[in-house]
Amino acid sequence: MHTHTCGCDNDEEKATVCGYPISIFFIVVNEFCERFSYYGMRAVLVLYFKYFLRWDDDFATTIYHTFVALCYLTPILGAIVADSWLGKFKTIVYLSIVYAVGQVILAVSAIHDITDANKDGTPDNMSFHIALSMVGLILIALGTGGIKPCVAAFGGDQFQDHQEKQRSTFFSIFYLSINAGSLLSTVITPILRGQECGIHTKQKCYPLAFGVPAALMVVALIVFIVGSRMYNKTAPQGNIMVKVCKCIGFAVKNRFKHRAPQYPKRDHWMDWAEEKYDKLLIAQVKMVLKVLFLYIPLPMFWALFDQQGSRWTLQATTMDGDFIDLPSSHQTVNPILILILVPIVDSVLYPLISKCKLNFTPLRRMTVGMFLAALAFVAAALVQIQIDKTLPTFPSSTVGQAKFINMLNNPLPIKAGSNGFTLNAFKVRHSIQLTIKYTNTSLKNTEDTYHTTIQNGTRNTIYNLCIILSANFSTINLEDCFLTPCADFSFPRFLNGFASALNVTVGNQDFGLIVTNNMSDYVAVPQGDAQFKIRNNAQECVYSQKLGFGSSFTIIIPSTFAFGIQSVVDIRPNTIHMAWMIPQYFLITAGEVVFSVTGLEFSYSQAPSNMKSVLQAGWLLTVAVGNIIVLIVAEAATLSDQWAEYILFASLLVLVCIIFAVMAYFYTYIDPTKVEAQFAQNKPEEKKRKSLEMACKDSFKHDKEDRRSSDSSSDEEEAKQTKI
C-alpha cells in the first residue's frame, strides 16, 4: 500500500508499514531519546544543586521548579516559530541543536576538577560552575520547550485524511515512547550518579549522569535528521500568531464601537472582524478559541499530577521502602504502569466500550481522567493518615522537648515539673531557666538539681534538648536531639562514655574521633545490617545493628564494655510500607492515560491546519499553570496536616471536573478540514460573483460611453441641419 507524499519537493510516494508511514518510526525513536535525556537529567538535578553547588534545600527547590516552569512556557515560542517562519521540521532540528548544546554544557559544569586547583575535591571557583550550569539549563529549557508542541503535531502531519485510526494509535505509541524513555532514565541516571569519578579526587559522578542524557539527545537529533526525505513537511503559514491576535483585537475593538442598540447583532463576536479579515481566518480563530476555552479547567489536573515529584516523594520518605534499592525508584511506578495501561486501554478497554454502544467521546474520557486523579489524592490522604499515626511528635514553633539518657548502672527517677520523665511543652518565647530534679539512688537517695538556661528563645525557635547523665554524674546538654526522618537512610550517632577517645566507622562512613563524654553527629547509613567498627589505640570491637528506613539511633558506649553497648531509638523506623502507595499511583496513572493521551489527540484533531502547534503549546501551557497552582494553594491553605491538603486538592479537582463536564456537554465536535474545504469551495464562487459584478460594471460603463458618443453624434448632425 502506498500513499501520496504531500508537501515534499518531489512526487515520490511514501511507503507504509501496516498502514503507518515509515517516517513516524523516526519520530517515535527521536521522542524516546529526547525524553530519556530530559527526565534523566531532571532525576538528579536537585541532588546536583544540593550536593555539588552546595545550595540549601529551599533555594535548590526554587531553581528546580523555575526550570520546570520555563520548560513548559517556552512551547509558546516554539509554536510561533514553527507555524510562522521555520516550519515544524526546521524548528525541531535547530532547537534540538540548542538542546544538545545545553546538555553538554550542564555535563561540563559538573566536572569539579576544572577549577579544583588545590585538588581537595571541592571546586575553587563555584561561581564558574553555577554560571555554566545556569547557561546549560536555560538552553535546555529553550530546546525541550521549543520542540514540545512541534514533535507531536509533526507526527500527526505524516498521516493522510483516510488514516484517522492510525493517527489515533500513533498518539498512544508516541505517549508510550515518552514513558519508556522516562522509565529507563529514572532508573539508569541515579545509578550513573552513584559511580565515583574524577581526575584528582573521586566524587559522585554528575558528569556521567548528565553526559549520558546529553549523548542521547545527540542521538535523537541524528535519528530525526536521517528520516528527513521521508517526512511530509507542511510549509509555515506566515506569522499566524500575530494574525490571530490582530484579528481578535480588531473584533473586540469593532464590537465595542458598535455596541449601540441600533447596530444588528451578529452570530459570534468574532464576526465583527469581517470588515477587515478573511472569513476563513475568522472561522479558524473560532475553532482555536473553542478549544482554548475548554483548556481553562485543565491546569487543575496537572496541579495534582505533578505532585508525584514533590508531595508524594516527601510522603515516600516517611515510609518503609525495603523492597526498593534506589532512592527515587518509587517514581518509576508511574512510567511502568503507563507502559502496561496504554496498550490495555487502547486495545481492550476502548473497543469494549464501543461494542457496548457507549459514546465515550474524547472530552468524556478526559473528564473520567480528572476524576481518577482526584480519587488518587483521596487514596494518598488515607495513606497519610496511617503514616501520621507512626511518626514522632515534633515540637511546634513555640514549645520544645527534652530527652534524658541515663548512663549510670542503676535506675534514676527524673522529675520535671508535673510532666514526669519527659519534659515537653516548655515555652521558649523568652529566655528561661529550666530546672530538673533527679534522685541519685546510688548516693544515699540524695537529690540534686540540674539547671540550664535557654537564651534568646524566639517564637520560631524549636529546642530539642538531649541531656546525658554520664557515669561520673556530670551532665551534657545538647541541642538537635531529634532528626527529621529520611526514607533512604538510617541516621545513627555515637555517645562515647569510655575513658578515652574512640573512632567509629561503618563501611566508607566515618563518625570521626569522638572524645570522652561527647557525641558524634548523625551520619547517613544505608538501611540494612550495619557493622560498626569501634577502636581506640589499643582495642577494636565490632557492633552490629539492623537499621531501618527513616530511623535514627543514639548508640551508647558505656564507661566499661562490661555493660555492653546499648542503642536508644531517637526516631523509630518507618513502618508503613511503600507498597501502599501503589493504589494512588495506579489511579493517577489511569487518569493520565485517559486524560493526557486523549488531550493530545483532541488538540490535534480540533486544530485548524495552520494552528496545530499553537494548540499543542496551549496544551503544554496548562502544565505550567498547574505547577503555579500548587504553589498558590499550598501557600494559601496553610494546613497543618498533609492529609487535609490532599483532600483539599482532590475536592478542588472534583469541582473543576464538574465544571469541565458541563463545558464538554455543550461542546460541538468539528472537522477543521471540512470547514476549511467549505471556505475553499466558496472562494471560487465569490471570485466568479465578483468577476461578474466587475463585468457588469464594465458593460454598464461601456454602454454609457456609447450612449454619450451617440448623443454627441446626433447633436452634431442636428447642428449641421440647422446651418443648412
Tens-digit pLDDT profile for residues 51-75: 788 876 557 767 777 788 889 888 8
- Structural element, H or E, at residue 190: helix 164-194
Percent helix, percent strand, percent coil in the chain, to nearest 5: 60, 15, 25
Determine the Cα–Cα distance for residues 543 and 713; give it in Å rounded to an integer: 131
pLDDT of residue 459: 34
Cβ proximity of 597 and 603 under 8 Å: no
Q: In the β-sheet with 475-478, what is the strand arrangement from edge to edge?
A: 424-427, 399-406, 464-469, 475-478
Q: Give buried/exposed letters for 114-138 (b at 16+ CB in 10 A, else e).
A: bebeeeeeebeeeeebbebbbebbb
The span from the CA of 571 to the CA of 482, in Å, is 7
| Model pLDDT, residue 723 | 35
Residue 135, all three cell numbers: 547557561
| pLDDT (0 to 100) of residue 218 | 96
pLDDT at 347: 86
Strand-by-strand arrangement of the 509-514 sheet: 509-514, 502-506, 528-535, 540-547
For residues 122 and 116, the answer to whether their CB atoms sit within 8 Å is yes
**DSSP assignments along 358-380, one per residue:** ----HHHHHHHHHHHHHHHHHHH
How high is the pLDDT of residue 648?
92
Which 3 state secondary structure label does DSSP give 660?
helix
Query: Position 111: which residue type?
Result: I
- Residue 553 in 3-state DSSP? strand
| CA separation for the pair 368, 372 (Å, rounded) | 6
CA distance 192 to 209: 5
Residues near 378 by beta carbon (within 8 Å), at least 6 away in sequence: 646, 647, 650
Burial class (CB in 10 A: 0-12, 13-18, 19+), 383: buried
- Amino acid identity for residue 496 in this structure: N
Task: Tell me the β-bridge partners of 452.
Answer: 434
What percent of the chain is predicted at pLDDT more than 70?
A: 73
Q: Output the nine-digit C-alpha cell for 368.
A: 473520567
- CB atoms < 10 A from the CB of 505, how many? 15
CA 499 to chain centre: 54
Domains of the chain from N-terminus onward: 15-238 (1.20.1250.20), 278-390+577-677 (1.20.1250.20), 401-571 (no CATH)
pLDDT at 368: 94
Q: Which stretches of the chain drop beneath a pLDDT of 50?
A: 1-12, 323-328, 396-399, 416-463, 693-694, 700, 712-714, 716-724
pLDDT in tens, 655-669: 999 999 999 998 888
365 vs 579: CA distance, rounded Å: 28
C-alpha–C-alpha distance, residues 148 and 145, integer Å? 5
Say if residue 107 is exposed, middle or buried (CB neighbours under 10 Å; 0-12, 13-18, 19+): buried
SS (H, E, C) 414-453: EECCCCCCCCEEEECCCCEEEEEEEEEHHHCCEEEEEEEE
- 3-state DSSP call for residue 354? helix
Q: Under DSSP, is residue 538 helix (H, G, I), strand (E, B) or coil? A: coil
Q: What is the largest CA-CA distance in the chain?
A: 166
Q: Is 301 helix (H, G, I), strand (E, B) or coil?
A: helix
Per-residue pLDDT, 719: 40
DSSP character string of 538-572:
S-EEEEEEEE-TT-EEEEEE-SSGGG--EEEEEEP
489-496 vs 525-526, strand pairing mode: antiparallel
Question: Which pLDDT value is given to residue 516?
Answer: 80
Helix (H) or strand (E) holding 554: strand 552-557
Q: Check residue 301 and give its pLDDT.
A: 94
Would you state the pLDDT for residue 422?
37
State residue 51's pLDDT score.
75
